[in-house]
Amino acid sequence: MPSIQIGDRAPDISAVAQDGTRISLANYRGRQPVVLFFYPKDGTAICTKEACAFRDSFEDFVAAGAVVIGVSSDSQSSHREFASAHRLPFHLLSDDDGALRTALGVPKTLGIMPGRVTYVIDRDGIVRHIFNSQFSAGRHVKEALAIVRQLAEGKEG
């Protein structure tokens, strides 16, 4: 499946979070922007840095009206441990079968490693920003927050 591009409608993906809640992008349509970040694996150095950077900016995202959701192929129990250990205040979705990555066309790095891609989806369900970088974890947060703030001000990303 081809990758989702800026200006495309985000697919209505749905998965279970670390607390057992089923989260669907459709639940946010018409309500608020979504920052959806895909990362390779709980507990690895760069993934932990990225998740903690989203945690540290979480109140800024909330103030701008956005919800933050992380996605990896790890299990619910792994996500629970990861979220608890690092005090992550957002949902982590378990994409154990890769369906969410496939639905958005998240590319693999070097053809083998799950990609690290962040999508900013506006309240209408339209993808307004995509940032793809395996190693620049901090830029995922910085760029997503800038776009969310633009959306809050009524500007397109």
Q: Is 52 a catalytic residue?
A: no
Residue 82, amino acid: F
- Which residue of the set 15, 34, 36, 47 is catalytic? 47
DSSP characters over 87-126 = T--SEEEE-TTSHHHHHHTPPPBTTTBPP-EEEEE-TTSB
* 45 CB neighbour count, 10 Å cutoff: 8
34 within 8 A of 25, measured Cβ to Cβ: yes
**Kind of pairing between the strands at 67-72 and 34-38:** parallel
**Which residue numbers are catalytic?**
47
